[in-house]
Amino acid sequence: MSKAFDIVINEEHMNKKKIFVAHCLNFGIASQGKSVEEAMGNIKDAIKLYLEENPEETSKTKGLLPPMATRLFL
């Protein structure tokens, strides 16, 4: 059974190089990559490892709201 997680990806610059940082809002974990695709693959791996180490968190993923996206400008 597939589970859905809320992921936010930000484009950032580190040492004058562009990177993409993926944040899993459900668990407060993050990963990065040189492309959006690499960041997504890395956050998937990070989520799998997190759930292996914290199996009790799996039950918290039931009943999640459907994915939402918004952009806030200040």
How far is it, in rounded angstroms, from Cα 27 to Cα 9?
Answer: 15
pTM: 0.75
Q: What is the pLDDT of residues 2-31, one digit of tens each?
A: 677 888 899 999 899 999 999 998 889 999
Which residues is 31 bridged to in the sheet? Answer: 22
How far is it, in rounded angstroms, from Cα 56 to Cα 62?
Answer: 12
Q: Place 74 in a pLDDT band, splitting at 50, 70 and 90.
A: low
Q: What is the pLDDT of residues 26-71, one digit of tens each?
A: 889 999 999 999 999 999 999 999 999 988 776 666 555 555 666 6
